[in-house]
Amino acid sequence: MKTSNHTLACNPIFVTLLFFLFANVAFSQVTQVADTVKTVKADTLKTAPSAVPVAAPAETQKTDEKSKEKKEKKKNEIVFYTGVNFTQLGSSATGYESEAGIGWHLGAYYKQGKFFYWQAGLRYNSALIGYKPTGTADFGDFTVSDIDIPVTAGINLLSATNRVLSLRLFVSAVPAFTMNVGDNTYGISKDNVNSFVLYGQGGLGVNVAFLVMEIGYNYGFNELLTDYTDSKPGQVFINLGFRF
């Protein structure tokens, strides 16, 4: 009976020890799990950013392509312009005299390049030519309208600042096709004018932002009037336009 009572008395102590033992083991397991979760999260956070640079090359390539496209666009320009011209014919010693009349023109051209550039365009040119046959007292005039096709090569001295300010020197070959001769008191008609004249053109251009200003000279290599051997046209022109 004493043995039985001692065993019963020891049971609560034994149970308590077992409880603390299991509690300690359980607590250590929970702590290890928590530490494991923290480690996994920390590793995940550390490794996550490494996935970002994978997309970087593609984004960089797209950015480079866009930059190239912008640069290509900057090299190309379309210009619309109008202006006035002053045209005079070389005069024959015994046939007539000529003085400059004020005409007008309207055109457009496509330009490509930076420092060295080329351009091709189309121009409607209405030239007013002062004219006086030998033996008459007063000058009159007549109008010749033609379609010009200027093909130009040039140098942009300020190509680095082209979109803001540029200074250009250019030369052109200008085939011109006669379209019409206006009414006049001298009886000069389209039949009295060569249907084709080749001009050589040279000039200076200044661009400020989207504005285009040009001044130059056209020289005809063949005669304008079929009845005279000294009727090569010379023309000073001034242009004002817009570029896109």
Q: When comparing pLDDT for 24 and 143, which is higher?
A: 143
Question: 110 and 27, same structural domain?
Answer: no
Q: Assess whether 90 and 126 both reside in one domain.
A: yes
Q: According to the model, what pLDDT value does residue 14 have? A: 54
Strands (E), the chain: 76-89, 96-113, 116-133, 140-148, 151-156, 165-181, 196-208, 211-220, 233-243
Whether the per-residue pLDDT at 102 is higher than 80: the answer is yes
Question: 4-13, 117-126, 162-171, 196-205: lowest mean pLDDT where?
Answer: 4-13
Find the mean pLDDT for residues 121-146: 94
What is the predicted pLDDT for the residue at 78?
Answer: 97
Q: In whole angstroms, how far apart are CA 237 and each of 86, 106, 220? A: 6, 11, 14
Instruction: Quickly state the pLDDT bin for 65 (edges 50, 70, 90).
Output: low
Q: Are residues 44 and 118 in the same domain?
A: no
- Distance separating alpha carbons of residues 84 and 82, to the nearest angstrom: 7
CB 142, CB 127: distance < 8 Å: no
Query: Domains in the chain: how many in total?
Result: 2
**Mean pLDDT in residue range 224-228:** 91
110 with 168, same domain? yes
pLDDT at 205 over 70: yes
pLDDT band at 172 (very low <50, low <70, confident <90, very high): very high
- Predicted pLDDT at 67: 60
- Give the C-alpha separation, 155 to 192, whole Å: 39
Whether residues 125 and 229 share a domain: the answer is yes
Q: Domain containing 172 — which CATH number?
A: 2.40.160.20
Q: What token pair was written down for 114?
A: 């930076």
- The reply to whether 122 and 238 lie within a common domain is yes
Q: Is residue 179's pLDDT more than 90? A: yes
**Domain contains 135:** yes
| 3-state percent helix, strand, coil for the chain, nearest multiple of 5 | 30, 50, 20
Neighbour-count burial of 145, counting CB atoms closer than 10 A to its CB (0-12 exposed, 13-18 middle, 19+ buried) = middle
pLDDT attached to residue 93: 64
Q: Do both 43 and 76 map to the same domain?
A: no
46 and 113, same structural domain?
no
Task: Please indicate, yes or no, whether residues 48 and 76 belong to a single structural domain of this protein.
Answer: no
Range of the domain at 212: 72-243
Asked whether residue 63 is domain-assigned, the answer is no
- Decide if 200 is inside a domain: yes
**One domain, residues 81 and 7:** no
User: In sequence order, what are the beta bridge partners of 159?
Assistant: none
Is residue 234 within 8 Å of 218, Cβ to Cβ?
yes
Token look-up 């002062």 returns: 130
pLDDT for 33 beyond 60: no
Q: Give dist(CA 174, CA 120) in Å, integer.
A: 10
Residue 66 lies in a domain: no
